[in-house]
Amino acid sequence: MNYEEYLDEVTTLITEKYAMTDETAIQMVMRAQADNFFSPHDDDPTLCTLDRTHKDAKTVFAQYK
């Protein structure tokens, strides 16, 4: 998946796993992105996997809730 699809999937997982609203999940992902959390993913597309989305959704939720 490409970088944008990856971010969308992380956002979706946050809403589904942690019962967050779309707006809240989007804000969390945007804050993580502003902190360069996803920079390695943008530089290395092989990091944009479905398995990794689950790990990153958990991390983003824990750090940005």
Rounded CA gap, 52 and 6, in Å?
Answer: 9
How many secondary structure helices (H) and strands (E) does the chain include?
Answer: 4, 0
Q: What is the pLDDT of residues 6-64, one digit of tens each?
A: 999 999 999 999 999 999 999 999 999 999 999 998 889 899 999 999 999 999 999 99
Tokens of 19: 């019962």
Question: Where along the chain do its domains lie?
Answer: 3-64
